[in-house]
Amino acid sequence: MTLEEKLKLLPGKPGVYLMKDRDGEIIYVGKAVSLKNRVRSYFQSSRYHGAKVEALVEKIADFECITTDSEVEALILESNLIKKHSPWYNVRLKDDKSYPYLKVTVNELFPRVFVVRRIQEDGSRYFGPYTNVGAMRETFAFLKKFFPIRSCRKNIGPDGQERPCLNFHIKRCAAPCAGLIKPEEYRQMIDQVCLFLEGRQELLLPEMRRKMQEAADGLAFEKAAEIRDRIAAMEKVIEKQKIVSFEGEDQDVLAFTVSAPLNAACAQVFFVRSGKLVGREQFMLEGVADDSPESIMTAFVQQYYSEAAYVPKEVLLRHGIEDSALVENWLAEKKGQRVYVRVPRRGEKKELVEMVVRNAALALAEEETKAATEKARTEGAVLELQQYLDLPNLPDRIEAYDISNIQGAEAVGSMVVFAGGKAAPSEYRRFKIKTVEGPNDFAMMQEVIRRRFLRGLREREELAAQAAEEVQKVQEAGKAQEEENAQEANRVSDRVASGPVAAGTTKFAVFPDLVLIDGGKGQLNAAREVMHELGVAEVPTVGLAKEFEHIFKENQSDPVILPRDSMALYLVQRVRDEAHRFAVTYHRELRGKRDVSSKLDEVAGIGPKRKKALLKHFGSIKRVGEASAEELAAVPGMSREVAEAVWQHLRK
């Protein structure tokens, strides 16, 4: 079905639309009150479009629509889809999925506090997201030090009878498992923790002082001293908080500044609770080129509050947002009461917003400095390397190879890829040596190089055949549309020229601009012998000797010695070290599996099924060894006698 035919079938209902390119990749996600009107507007040549929208329209090859029952549902769905697909033409939070939260399991009889990476609808309370993981961990450490909350995963009833663990003896747990604290008293402590995480520490102090006095009057001086120390620590936290509103309101203040060189914006959220500034978080927004301040702010508000654990009564913004009434209704649904989204024009609130703007500008200046340093460290290093090694092309794609084994056992090879001076982990590959027996690193390197380039040559042949078929189909489409066919043929040819990158999932068809062999002349010569044999000798290849960091080239007796302070040397070392790390990690993994198998295989009565059941149940051989005979016997398929045998054997 053509785009014109799909446009005619669009419904006039609210929903979300997903724009796709020729490879089926989602490049933009948007919402609409009327899908029919909104999607059609992109293809109306008479309608004015900005540069970014014009670039988007040129890439659109297909689109998909999802209807919703309301505009609020469309708003939520749009935000979720942007997070899931990270479309190139959307403003998007950078690495938003990695932000941690503090989770309080208030739905448990004796709640716990721990770090999680995503919010679930499980009845727990969440605080975050925290972009500064270090600050979050400091907060978590403070809570564990001054509030004796349990950290175990036990399912504890109201009348625990277990023996308390070490955490109780070092005063890091109140030992509910041993029945040493009542659920009501423990719940009061959890309420205090939640108030602290909300930034309302001052509400805790009167109750804490009362409890301290009660403990002192009851001659429980040790308990009184603990509460005293907790109060002192809390007062230090409060001293750091700045009073920014004498109205005692709960507010979030959002602002951002844009960097044209980075095509990004630095957004900051200041948290005001009961009139005090209790914290802030910082986010980087990508893909903001040619977007208006209103559209950037709209995207940030939607994506931030779709994950935020708390919505205040008032949200103050530097710029207005699109569909502000719709966003207010959405936030009100999340909070359960009315939420006001405002752009202050004067007074105290305006000054507060300007303070956030100044902080965002300072943070953005730091990011620009970091980016410039990183560019020199990566792109500058690649350019230096080309000059020092006298390479015909810029070594944008560097592949490094290393071998890891112990006297030929569990031999593996690694291939790591750096693109533009940066590691590209999705392109890494590892090889289990199949044809070499005994400790022969040269032969192992040859096997790895042969397998890599043979696979690449086969993929190139397949892609060339596919491209030829596509071009033939276009040419046979009819002479009535010769000009359009020629354009399509050119597009196909362009796709073939860079096709391996787009079409291949393994990327072997993309040959490197430089191959780095971890080793000296011997390893280099072994690799080059195979490359000549396969007809890929034109790929520049060097060896890096470990002792003096000398670089060897084929048919050159003298090594290339890079300056000790050059970015090119640092890049080569990073690539080599990453190849070594990747190879050693795989070797250890295989060796560990071998050790696990041998330990359990030595026990009479343990066959493949029981071994698999034990490892699946406990997760590792270490945990199998730590389990009691009763726990081992409880695994499906295990008998008491065999469990006893395993328990005895692993403890030798």
Does any domain span residue 549?
yes
85 lies in the same domain as 116: no
Instruction: For residue 616, give every residue at least 6 positions away whose Cβ sits within 8 Å of its Cβ, in sequence order, or none.
Output: none
Does any domain span residue 585?
no
Does any domain span residue 69?
yes
Give the per-residue pLDDT at 594: 64
Last residue of a domain, one of 352, 367, 382: 367
Each as own residue / partner, the long-range contacts of residues 421-426 (CB below 8 Å, 24 or more positions apart, any chain) are: 421/377, 421/378, 421/379, 421/380, 421/381, 421/382, 421/571, 422/378, 423/574, 423/578
Does any domain span residue 596?
no
110 lies in the same domain as 33: no
Over residues 488-515, the pLDDT tens digits come to 555 545 544 444 343 334 478 899 999 9
Give the per-residue pLDDT at 410: 79
Q: How far apart are CA 503 and CA 495, in angstroms?
A: 9
Last residue of a domain, one of 577, 612, 630: 577
CATH of the domain at 640: 1.10.150.20
Q: Kindly report the length of the chain.
A: 652
- pLDDT of residue 210 exceeding 90, the answer is no
Does any domain span residue 594?
no
Label residue 336 exposed, middle or buried (CB < 10 Å: 0-12, 13-18, 19+): exposed
35 lies in the same domain as 143: no
326 lies in the same domain as 259: yes
Q: Is 164 helix (H, G, I), strand (E, B) or coil?
A: coil
Closest listed residue to residue 137, CA positions, set 182, 100, 108, 186:
100
Last residue of a domain, one of 90, 121, 141: 90
On whether the CB atoms of residues 594 and 608 are closer than 8 A, the answer is no
**Residues pairing with 400 in the sheet:** 416, 516
Does any domain span residue 374?
no
47: number of Cβ within 10 Å: 10
Does any domain span residue 452?
yes
444 lies in the same domain as 551: yes
What's the domain range around 327? 251-367
301 lies in the same domain as 411: no
The structure tokens listed for 74 are 């469309």
Bond before 129 cis per omega within 30 degrees: yes
Over residues 35-70, the pLDDT tens digits come to 888 888 888 765 556 777 888 888 888 898 888 888
Over residues 595-614, the pLDDT tens digits come to 555 677 777 788 878 888 88
542 lies in the same domain as 480: yes
Over residues 441-500, the pLDDT tens digits come to 899 999 999 999 999 999 888 888 887 877 777 676 655 555 555 555 555 455 444 443
23 lies in the same domain as 115: no
Q: How far apart are CA 193 and CA 148, in angstroms?
A: 10
Give the per-residue pLDDT at 249: 78
306 lies in the same domain as 438: no
Instruction: For residue 287, give every residue at least 6 positions away whose Cβ sits within 8 Å of its Cβ, in sequence order, or none.
Output: 88, 89, 90, 91, 92, 263, 264
**Is this model's pTM higher than 0.85 or not?**
no
332 lies in the same domain as 289: yes
Each as own residue / partner, the long-range contacts of residues 155-158 (CB below 8 Å, 24 or more positions apart, any chain) are: 156/109, 156/110, 157/109, 158/109, 158/183
On whether the CB atoms of residues 146 and 98 are closer than 8 A, the answer is no
pLDDT tier, 528 (very low <50, low <70, confident <90, very high otherwise): very high
CATH of the domain at 302: 3.30.420
Give the per-residue pLDDT at 328: 92
234: number of Cβ within 10 Å: 19
Does any domain span residue 142?
yes
Q: How far apart are CA 257 and CA 359, in angstroms?
A: 9
Q: How far apart are CA 541 and CA 517, in angstroms?
A: 7
Over residues 329-373, the pLDDT tens digits come to 999 998 889 999 999 998 888 988 998 999 899 889 888 888 888
The structure tokens listed for 6 are 């799909």
Structural domain total, the chain:
5
Mean pLDDT, residues 150-172: 83
557 lies in the same domain as 419: yes
406 lies in the same domain as 482: yes
What is the SS3 string spanning 369-409?
HHHHHHHHHHHHHHHHHHHHHCCCCCCCEEEEEEEEEECCE
